[in-house]
């Protein structure tokens, strides 16, 4: 494997996503292939899809593509929103609007940039976010869904092992 690609163990071949039965679910793994596509631009391939990634973390207000850190935050947001929506549907609730605003902090961003004398870690120090939701349900019902979603989110459960995560829900009129 060259320095311009990364292979991550993949989902069992021959089965569409979401088609595994309960006995097979434990053996499922997912696959992504990432190649270097240009100067600090990577291209990720998953299933029949692809997306471009610009660098480790975006340091300027503009860019051609989201950075790896921004994709991580976006993936976390998508995981939480999808789970919340699915659980609300199961309970017969209609979500009118929903948005998750997330931010992440790096312990020392200068380490990522190889700044001479920069000490410390480039690790993500914390992730914070607020879910804003408007729905045809009272706040207590939405709170139950929120807590279930966080308890069953693969990304929340994985990231909270190493990152301080603070996520809250705010019901809006």
Task: Return averaged pLDDT per consecutive 10 residues of the chain, 173 residues in all.
Answer: 37 46 76 94 96 94 94 98 97 96 96 94 97 96 98 98 97 94
Residue 60 inside a domain? The answer is: no
Taking phi first (over 0 means left), then psi (-120 to 50 degrees means alpha), and beta for anything else, what does residue 86 get? alpha
48 and 82 fall within a common domain: no
Establish if 34 belongs to a structural domain: yes
Residues 41 and 114 reside in one and the same domain: no
Domain count, the chain: 2
Please give the pLDDT value at position 93. 96
CATH number, domain containing residue 117: 3.30.300.20
Do 43 and 71 have their domain in common? no
Do 168 and 105 share a structural domain? yes
32: domain range?
A: 1-54
149 and 92 belong to one structural domain:
yes
Of 34, 32, 40, residue with least CA distance to 63: 40
Residues 171 and 88 in one domain: yes
In the chain the first and final C-alpha atoms are separated, in Å, by 53
Task: Supply the pLDDT for residue 88.
Answer: 97
Mapped onto helix, strand or coil, the DSSP state of residue 153 is coil
Look at residue 19 in the predicted model and tell me its pLDDT: 54
User: Quick one: tokens of 110?
Assistant: 């200068």
- Asked which of 25, 54, 83 is the last residue of a domain, the reply is 54
Please classify residue 9 by burial: count the beta carbons closer than 10 Å to its beta carbon, then call 0-12 exposed, 13-18 middle and 19+ buried. Answer: exposed
pLDDT at 1: 34
Predicted local confidence at residue 16, as pLDDT: 47
If asked whether residues 165 and 98 sit together in one domain, one would say yes
β partners of residue 45? 33, 50
């Amino acid at each position: 494997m060259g320095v311009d690609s990364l292979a991550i163990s993949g989902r069992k071949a021959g089965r569409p996503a979401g088609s595994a039965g309960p006995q097979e679910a434990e053996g499922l793994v997912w696959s992504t292939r990432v190649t270097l596509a240009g100067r600090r631009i990577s291209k990720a391939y998953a299933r029949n899809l692809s997306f471009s990634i610009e660098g480790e973390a975006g340091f300027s207000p503009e860019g051609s593509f989201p950075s790896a850190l921004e994709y991580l935050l976006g993936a976390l947001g998508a995981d939480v929103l999808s789970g919340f929506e699915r659980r609300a549907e199961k309970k017969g609730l209609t979500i009118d609007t929903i948005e998750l605003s997330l931010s992440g902090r790096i312990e020392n961003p200068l380490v990522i940039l190889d700044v001479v004398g920069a000490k410390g870690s480039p690790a993500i120090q914390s992730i914070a976010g607020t879910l804003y939701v408007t729905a045809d349900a009272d706040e207590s019902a939405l709170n139950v869904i929120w807590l279930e979603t966080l308890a069953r989110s693969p990304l929340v459960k994985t990231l909270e092992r190493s990152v301080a995560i603070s996520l809250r829900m705010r019901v809006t009129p």
